Amino acid sequence: MPFQINSFEQYLSEYQKSIDQPENFWSGIAEHFTWKKKWDKVLEWNFKEPSVKWFQGGKLNITENCLDRHLMEKANDPAIIWEPNDPKEKNRILSYKELHGEVCRFVQVLKNNSVKKGDRICIYMPMVPELAVAVLACARMGAIHSVIFGGYSAQSIADRIEDASCSLVLTADGGNRGGKDILLKDTIDEALQKTGHVKKVIVLKRLGNKVNMVDGRDVWWHDEIKKVESQGLKDTTAEAMDAEDILFILYTSGSTGKPKGVVHTVAGYMIYTTYSFVNVFQYKPGQIYFCTADIGWITGHSYTVYGPLCAGATTLMFEGIPSWPDPGRFWDIVDKYKVNILYTAPTAIRSLMGFGTDPIKNKDLSSLRVLGTVGEPINEEAWHWYDEHIGKHKCPIVDTWWQTETGGIMISNLAGISKGKPSYATLPLPGVIPLLVDENGHPVPGSDAAKDGVFHKGASGPTVSGNLCIRFPWPSIIRTTYGDHERCRVNYFATYPGMYFTGDGALRDAEGNYRITGRVDDVLNVSGHRIGTAEVENAINMHPEVVESAVVGYPHDIKGQGIYAFVTLGKEGQEKGVKKESVVSEVVRVIGVIARPDKIQFVTGLPKTRSGKIMRRILRKIAEGEMENLGDISTLVDPAVVEEIKKGKV
């Protein structure tokens, strides 16, 4: 494949070129894509505003790169293999030609429903091929998609619809996940009572359950497709998009307030996701690639849909969960489709590890060539289990570090090209310049991949640590937070001027490998999903009996981090005896099931300083089970409260 790195020496030389001459480097990669008009300027940037523009003047459509350009040679090759939740249901395979046809038809559906270029479209759908079709159809006509994961509540959906002023919602009557039916349309109905923006809802029939269809607002997907069939396909040309037009918004949690809409733009995102897909996984034509992430998350956007399809790969979409109908499901899928590349999350590996090796017996995993992980640090035990029982010591494991904001994989070994190291994401991809800074913002000596050398073979010496920053723009860097550019500046570019701050802490060993140690802000990583502690606190505080709360993370064997909430009740609540379950329900109502607290402890007060600041450090230690070295508690207004909290730990 073009721009595929074939050896470690080549990786080093490409890396060097990418930092010496980034514009030449990336324009060389961009040449391999289909453009309607070539760019005038490769890069213009400053991190102060911030403003980053790649390939200005260029015109293109990402779906021409995902679909049309494969129609000559790959028309009948499978683009998407879809495995349903219920293994007894028939699977579906869409060739590139079929997928192209479906996308073109759905573009016409959107246009028939008055969608125009630049409109924001909310997508709340199950993991079925129509979800990929929906995303691609938006991209093809220039509408901006905002996909919301099915685990978010009506309130979360309404907030996101308001924030982006979405005019149309794409949803389904429901979806299957494991043994459960998820009633998506009911949740949308509830959300739409909280916001007036949405004019139209297009509903896919998936479950066949009875749903409420609002006259004049709600239409069935299949009826709309029938209309297109009777109209005949009008114009299938993809919209000419500017390189820096918005491709999508994806909401993610931060340390303060409400979730922010991360904005990615067309050209840079396309180039970086494709480049990183091809290189990290070392994808070879004809291979079957299975990313287990839902399209509701960035991993699904970049590495289930856009990256693989741009590369002409076969991408496997799975509707269900790893443990249903039994914990051998992933391995059944690998066996059934002869999967070559498997990309999943440490939390899934840990939960499957818990079932032992019985579910793997009699499953043929010999097709596997490459394994990947994403979303959170992988502990050594899980890494070795994955290596031994799934990869049979024959498959490189790529530990890929990146974020919603980075659009694509930033630090990772390249499968079979650069070495993995358990619990290390290892080396930066070409074009990525990581460095670590100390508390005062000073670069930590020996931590800058470009200045200090990206790799020092066999070197031993001290491991350095600090806060992980990136000091040069890569093509798929976040452009803004939708509707609030200042928030983007403050969140990512103001902490350490001149650098993008990731919010993660990291170590760097003497050879140059980076190890991500976790968030240094108030963001939790629960089962590989980001959840802001402030967001959960806001939700808990909406409970009528709650006075205040403090949420911290604690180590969780399977989820990585669990959510621990310390909650104080008002007088009435104390007398009535509020149930913990009702606090949990409030969080589920406000945010969704993904933020469900694991532990609730009612306390009579929180440890606060005289200025009223909650001493989270103390709460974090208690939640972690550390009862002794709590540090100086003499500055607290009421040190006695700490004893009480220690005694009541759950």
What are the residues binding ligand PRX (CB under 6 A)? Answer: 252, 298-299, 374-377, 399-404, 425, 502-504, 516, 518-519, 525, 529-530
Give the whole-angstrom CA distance, residue 164 versus residue 122. Answer: 9
Q: Which residue is nearest to ligand PRX (CB)?
A: 404
For the CB of residue 403, give the shortest distance to ligand PRX in the complex, in Å: 4
Beta strand extents in 132-199 (DSSP E only) = 144-147, 168-172, 175-177, 180-182
Place of tokens 């479209």: 121
For the CB of residue 487, give the shortest distance to ligand PRX in the complex, in Å: 16
Query: In terms of CB distance, is 312 or 434 closer to ligand PRX?
Result: 434
Query: In terms of CB distance, is 516 or 645 closer to ligand PRX?
Result: 516
Query: In terms of CB distance, is 200 or 620 closer to ligand PRX?
Result: 620
Give the whole-angstrom CA distance, residue 250 versus residue 146. Answer: 6
For the CB of residue 500, give the shortest distance to ligand PRX in the complex, in Å: 12
For the CB of residue 512, give the shortest distance to ligand PRX in the complex, in Å: 17
For the CB of residue 250, give the shortest distance to ligand PRX in the complex, in Å: 9
For the CB of residue 406, give the shortest distance to ligand PRX in the complex, in Å: 8
Query: In terms of CB distance, is 26 or 424 closer to ligand PRX?
Result: 424
Query: In terms of CB distance, is 523 or 546 closer to ligand PRX?
Result: 523
Backbone angle region of 512, left / alpha / beta, with phi > 0 → left and psi within -120 to 50 → alpha? left
SS3 percent helix, strand, coil of the chain, rounded to 5, is: 30, 25, 40
Structure-token pair, residue 277: 């897909």
For the CB of residue 427, give the shortest distance to ligand PRX in the complex, in Å: 13
Structure-token pair, residue 505: 């802490």
User: Distance between alpha carbon 506 and the CA centroid of its chain, in Å?
Assistant: 20
Query: In terms of CB distance, is 58 or 528 closer to ligand PRX?
Result: 528
Give the whole-angstrom CA distance, residue 2 versus residue 244. Answer: 24
- The residues facing 172 across adjacent strands are 204
Give the whole-angstrom CA distance, residue 300 versus residue 319. Answer: 12
Side-chain-facing half-sphere of 272: CA atoms under 13 Å: 29
Query: In terms of CB distance, is 157 or 374 closer to ligand PRX?
Result: 374
Query: In terms of CB distance, is 340 or 502 closer to ligand PRX?
Result: 502
For the CB of residue 375, give the shortest distance to ligand PRX in the complex, in Å: 5
Give the whole-angstrom CA distance, residue 204 versus residue 195. Answer: 22
Angle at 94 between CA 88 and CA 100, to 5 degrees: 150
For the CB of residue 581, give the shortest distance to ligand PRX in the complex, in Å: 28
Q: List all residues 6 or more positions away from 13 whose beta carbon is below 8 Å from its beta carbon.
A: none
609: helix, strand or coil: strand
Query: In terms of CB distance, is 491 or 549 closer to ligand PRX?
Result: 491
User: What is the CB neighbour count within 10 angstroms for residue 87?
Assistant: 15
Residue 168, judged by CB atoms within 10 A of its CB (0-12, 13-18, 19+), counts as: buried
